[in-house]
Structure 1
Amino acid sequence: MSDPVHPRRRFLHRAGAAALATGLLPLAPQPALAALAALPGAHALSFDNLHTGERLSTVFAIGDTFVPQALQSLNHLLRDHYSGQVGNMDPQLFGLLFRLRQALGTDEPFQVISGFRSPATNARLRHTGGGGVARRSLHMDGQAIDIRLAGVPLAELRDAALSLQGGGVGFYEKEQFVHVDTGRVRAW
């Protein structure tokens, strides 16, 4: 006897993929995005922005297909908290964070120290921030994020990020965060 759940899952997966492919999902209300979490291949992340106090839990992709509405919400949440400027975050960064959370075996939200950074903010921080801000920071391209995870030692977060070989990993023990980016593989 066949399991009636599998055909339903296949239908939901195909319907979700069709909605993504046709661009209909960006028009869907937020509860529709929450329903995506039940689909096979749903990739979800949660964030707490420590500077704005905002929180977001969202399904950012189904398999290899990104959810445009979720990406817009993530861009807003990870905006430059100094200027309010919203940039376009690299969707591959969210894939890297998803794999990082899986490697650590946690569902805790990422605590965001810094996401997108405007060129003006980056220049100001380079001159007043006491170092550690690159002239051509990947934060300005939406390819970098500075994070920590509640309950996960900072060194463990760094080691897990390094093991993924998904880009750059910076360890800022004194400042209590780990930098992760989708640039070339390197560590500092």
Structure 2
Amino acid sequence: MTDSRTSGALSRRGLLAAFAATAVASAPTYSNAFGFLRGAGDIRRLKMYNGRTGEKLDTIYWIEGDYIKDAKVEIDHFFRDWRRNEVKAVDFRTLDIMAATHNLLECNEPYMLLSGYRSPATNAMLASRSGGVASKSLHMKAQAADLRLDTRSVNQVAKAAQACRAGGVGKYYGSNFVHMDCGSVRTWGG
């Protein structure tokens, strides 16, 4: 007898194969990301670290259809603008895209968070130093994250995020990170 809880990896692989074969022509919706998460069971988890603050996060933030309030508070603090110590509630949709991407990559390595929420002041400062920072960045709405995985290439992470068809995905090869957000479906960076 096969237990559906123990066949998660097989289901995910099957889902990936089916996805690649059909190339999903449906309208982009967040349900795509949620569908990938369903193959992971009845939990959603984020495993991350922040190289700038030294903080680590390993939390289950969703169980059987419900977001966990205490986990969300922890995530919001982790994603804060560390330069100004400002916290803003991170959009659940971005968290779900990140979790779905991580599941698709079948990776246990934690994401390295390079940038989560950015206050308007921090965003303006960064934009003045780099042409790669959008003046109306979704980071200022806590709807974006810049992430890195040491065991996966920028292209591998970006392709998994794009497979969710649930938001923006930017590739930054020179800085070795992928931007994920819950805005409109779009890609940039090659």
Give the TM-score normalised by structure 2: 0.75
Q: Which position in structure 2 is the counterpart of 1:50?
A: 51
**How far is the alpha carbon of 1:158 from its aligned partner?**
0.9
Structure with greater helix share of residues: 1
Q: Which position in structure 2 is the counterpart of 1:59?
A: 60
Q: Which position in structure 1 is the counterpart of 2:144?
A: 144
Deviations 1:146-181 (A, max 9, x none): 001121111111111111111000100001100000
- Could you tell me which runs of 5 or more consecutive residues in structure 2 were left unpaired when the two chains were aligned: 1-40
Following the alignment from structure 1 to structure 2, what is the Cα–Cα distance between the partners of residues 163 and 76? Answer: 28
Following the alignment from structure 1 to structure 2, what is the Cα–Cα distance between the partners of residues 168 and 42? Answer: 24
Q: C-alpha root-mean-square deviation of aligned residues, in Å? A: 1.0
Following the alignment from structure 1 to structure 2, what is the Cα–Cα distance between the partners of residues 43 and 141? Answer: 22
Deviations 1:78-122 (A, max 9, x none): 111211111110011111111101110112111000000001101
Q: Which amino acid aligns with 1:59?
A: I
Q: Which amino acid aligns with 1:155?
A: N
Deviations 1:16-63 (A, max 9, x none): xxxxxxxxxxxxxxxxxxxxxxxx612111110111010010011013
Q: Structure 1 residue runs of 4+, over 6 Å off? A: none
Higher relative contact order (CA 8 A, sep 6+): 2
Deviations 1:129-157 (A, max 9, x none): x2111111100111000001121111111
Q: Which position in structure 1 is the counterpart of 2:163?
A: 163
Q: Which position in structure 1 is the counterpart of 2:72?
A: 71
Q: Percent identity?
A: 37
Deviations 1:63-84 (A, max 9, x none): 3311011011001011112111
Q: Which position in structure 2 is the counterpart of 1:126?
A: 127
Q: Which position in structure 2 is the counterpart of 1:180?
A: 180
Q: Which amino acid aligns with 1:181?
A: D
Q: Which amino acid aligns with 1:75?
A: D
Following the alignment from structure 2 to structure 1, what is the Cα–Cα distance between the partners of residues 100 and 136? Answer: 26
Secondary structure in 2 aligned to 1:139? helix
Following the alignment from structure 1 to structure 2, what is the Cα–Cα distance between the partners of residues 131 and 175? Answer: 13
- The answer on 1:135 being equivalent to 2:135 is yes
Give the TM-score normalised by structure 1: 0.76
Q: Which amino acid aligns with 2:64?
A: G
Q: Which amino acid aligns with 1:176?
A: N
Secondary structure in 2 aligned to 1:159? helix
Following the alignment from structure 2 to structure 1, what is the Cα–Cα distance between the partners of residues 184 and 104? Answer: 20
